[in-house]
Structure 1
Amino acid sequence: MKRTIDIVITVIGLPIALFLIFVCIVLVKLSSRGPAIFRQTRVGMHEELFTCYKLRTMYVGTHNAPSHETTASAVTPVGRWLRRLKLDELPQLWNILRGDMSFVGPRPCLPSQVELVEARRARGLYAIRPGITGIAQVAGIDMSDPQRLAKVDAEYLNTMSLRTDLRLILATAVGAGQGDRVAS
């Protein structure tokens, strides 16, 4: 049922999302050199690796690390705006259609985040698809505290429901959470 709802919401919202993605791509391209779409390998369901798509918010050449290990100076001016409004996540609709992700679930991490991968494995979190948003994101918990993050993500695993998903999607849409924090 969750997968069907993900697809239906994505297909319904795609015309608006495509327009917004196009506008954001133009802004990214006008503001800094490099591709507008950022691709990064992430850990997905059953610990399978997949390519996650986002609008590029950092300068080309920024090291491939979690956001909380990246300095704020790496984020472009347009990128700060995209991150604040969470528009950088829109290309992940493609990940949802492909079955790599869901709207709600644990945020997919990098394979290099070994402590987080192990903490999530211990709590059975790789039994579900990672999400664009989740309990931890709405609560403002980022990936800098892997044990706490995995514990909160596990709360979602134990309370998953359509009602919970809709509540988290709505909370994200109205601005709950701060997105991925970058180091100062």
Structure 2
Amino acid sequence: MIVALRNTICIFGLILISPILLISAIFIIIEDGYPPFFIQERLGINEKIFSMYKIRTMKKQTPQDGTHNVNEKYLLSVGKLIRKLKLDEFPQIVNVIRGDINLIGPRPGLIMQEALKAERVKKYIYSVKPGITGLAQSTGFDMSDPKKLAQVDEIYIKNKSPKLMILIFMATFFKMPREILKRQLKLDEI
């Protein structure tokens, strides 16, 4: 019942956002050609590899690495706006519907991010489904510091609740919930 409701909401959301995604895809094609979307292998629950869908914000010849390691020169000019509005993440709604990920959870890492994988294994992060957005992403932690990221993921798992998930969702888009999360969970101490 809950999965059916979640999928219905996701499908409705995807339909609502599809005109904006289509416009984004057209701008990407104009600037850098096909394809406007890309599929990337990620680590999911129990370290299971799955294919994650995204809107492409980088040039086609960009090295295959985490975005925090890639030079800004590879970013498409339209990609900056797409990232700022978080439009590049919306195709992952398909991953939610498929059951690969949740809306909220630890962000799935790239297979090649060995340091992050090692830190997450130590903290049992792979025992939960990853998400489109998570506590770390909504509060400013990224994959450039694997140890801190795994710590924040662990805090999410230990404090997981409907209230926390709603706050994380809101903090993904708005500053005030972000500050509440940081204060309540003492994230500035990490």
TM-score by length of 2: 0.87
Give SS of 1:90's match: helix
Give SS of 2:63's match: coil
Q: Report 1:1-184 matches (<5 A).
A: 3=3, 6-174=6-174
Other-structure match for 1:181? none
**Greater Rg by CA:** 2
Q: 1:9 to 1:168 in 2, by over 3 A?
A: farther
CA RMSD of aligned residues (A): 1.8
Identity over the aligned pairs, expressed in percent? 35
Counterparts of 2:23 and 2:136 in 1: how far apart (Å)?
Answer: 29
Per chain length, whose mean CA-contact separation is higher, i.e. which structure has more relative contact order (CA < 8 Å, sep 6+)?
Answer: 1
- Deviation string for 1:84-111 (max 9, x for gaps)? 1111101111111111111111111111
Q: Where does structure 1 lack aligned partners over 5 or more consecutive residues? A: 178-184
Please tell me the residue identity of whatever aligns with 1:82.
I
How far residue 52 of structure 1 moved from its aligned partner, in angstroms, is 0.8
Task: Answer whether contact 2:14 2:90 (CA < 8 A) is retained.
Answer: no
- Deviation string for 1:21-44 (max 9, x for gaps)? 212111211121231001111111
Counterparts of 2:43 and 2:105 in 1: how far apart (Å)?
Answer: 13
Q: If each structure's helix is expressed as a fraction of its own residues, which one has the higher value?
A: 2
Counterparts of 1:20 and 1:139 in 2: how far apart (Å)?
Answer: 26
Q: 1:4 to 1:161 in 2, by over 3 A?
A: farther
Counterparts of 2:45 and 2:71 in 1: how far apart (Å)?
Answer: 29
Other-structure match for 2:183? none
Q: 1:3 to 1:114 in 2, by over 3 A?
A: farther
Q: Where does structure 2 lack aligned partners over 5 or more consecutive residues? A: 179-190
Counterparts of 2:5 and 2:145 in 1: how far apart (Å)?
Answer: 31
Counterparts of 1:162 and 1:9 in 2: how far apart (Å)?
Answer: 17
Task: Answer whether contact 2:101 2:129 (CA < 8 A) is retained.
Answer: yes
Give SS of 2:33's match: coil
Other-structure match for 2:187? none
43-52 or 1-10, which deviates more: 1-10
How far residue 4 of structure 1 moved from its aligned partner, in angstroms, is 5.5
TM-score by length of 1: 0.89
Other-structure match for 2:188? none
Other-structure match for 2:186? none
How far residue 3 of structure 1 moved from its aligned partner, in angstroms, is 4.8
Please tell me the residue identity of whatever aligns with 1:84.
K
Give SS of 2:78's match: helix
Task: Answer whether contact 2:37 2:56 (CA < 8 A) is retained.
Answer: yes
Other-structure match for 2:182? none
